[in-house]
């Protein structure tokens, strides 16, 4: 494995450890999807087993709570998992009032939508999503 590959794997392991302290659901039993849109992005977290009602309930509760925090500019949970210098995070904290954050249940999980008219915040959301996709490794997908 290359040094870069080992560094990436080490980071993903550290993020998984920190995530277990912040997210109530199991990372190994869920998948995060981060899809950029023209005016922001869509984040979906689903249980890998749609019949795992316990994970579905935990995902929905956590994302509902995160939506409320994010609307107030409180991105403390992502910072605790990914680091305070996470790409896009400072911009989102400062510009939270300019980002509409919606919550909705989806089959086997939940969805957060991030919408803004501010091009700099759109870029921040895209950078933030890219960092999360990288940090969550095989537990994440998206464009």
- Domain ranges across the chain: 3-142
Query: Distance (Å, rounded) from C-alpha 67 to C-alpha 56?
Result: 17
Q: What is the pLDDT of residues 59-104, one digit of tens each?
A: 999 999 999 999 999 999 888 877 889 999 999 999 999 999 999 9
Residue 2 has pLDDT above 50, yes or no: no
Instruction: Tell me the average pLDDT across 15-28.
Output: 66
Residue 92: how many other CB atoms lie within 10 Å: 23
Structure tokens at 108: 């086997």
The residue with greater pLDDT, 139 or 68, is: 68
């Amino acid at each position: 494995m290359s040094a870069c590959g080992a560094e990436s794997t080490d980071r993903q392991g550290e993020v998984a450890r920190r995530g277990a302290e912040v997210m109530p659901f199991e990372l190994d039993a869920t998948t995060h999807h981060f899809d950029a849109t023209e005016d922001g992005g869509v984040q979906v977290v689903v249980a890998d087993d749609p019949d795992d009602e316990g994970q579905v309930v935990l995902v929905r509760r956590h994302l509902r709570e995160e939506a409320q925090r994010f609307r107030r500019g409180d991105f403390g949970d992502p910072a605790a998992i990914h680091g305070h210098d996470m790409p896009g995070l400072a911009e989102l904290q400062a510009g939270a009032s300019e980002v509409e954050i919606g919550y909705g249940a989806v089959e086997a999980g939940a969805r957060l939508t991030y919408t803004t008219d501010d091009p700099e915040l759109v870029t921040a959301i895209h950078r933030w999503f890219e960092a999360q996709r990288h940090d969550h490794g095989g537990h994440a997908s998206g464009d």
